[in-house]
Amino acid sequence: EDQVTQSPEALRLQEGESSSLNCSYTVSGLRGLFWYRQDPGKGPEFLFTLYSAGEEKEKERLKATLTKKESFLHITAPKPEDSATYLCAVQAYNNNDMRFGAGTRLTVKP
């Protein structure tokens, strides 16, 4: 069965303190791995799609990387506005479901 595990569950950083969020996955035939950002009271907002091991994508202070077993979301010099819950999801070739992890709740203090 496809599984997605995100760690840590919660992360508190000082402004400017770089760190990484982890998404470990088990899937039979990865079609795509997705990162979303969710702010309180809102729906998830799409950030990145990664399709194959070795792929990297960047957007402002965020960079997502992918290996055959996990993905990292690197946050460089975060700002308070980066505070949110970050969700990882995988989609396999053999089904239409997008399997989500439980998320990492990031808090960046000024």
Residues that bind other proteins (CB under 8 A): 4, 9, 31-32, 34, 36, 41-46, 49, 51, 87, 89, 91, 96-103
Minimum CB distance to other proteins smaller for 34 or for 65: 34
Mapping DSSP to helix (H, G, I), strand (E, B) and coil, where does residue 13 land? strand
107 CB-near residues (< 8 Å, 6+ apart): 10, 11, 12, 13, 83
Q: How far is the CB of 106 from other proteins (least distance, A)?
A: 15
Q: How far is the CB of 75 from other proteins (least distance, A)?
A: 20
Q: Please report, as a single letter, which amino acid is at residue 14.
A: Q
The region that residue 16 occupies, defined by phi over 0 for left and psi between -120 and 50 for alpha, beta otherwise, is: left
Minimum CB distance to other proteins smaller for 46 or for 58: 46
Q: How far is the CB of 57 from other proteins (least distance, A)?
A: 12
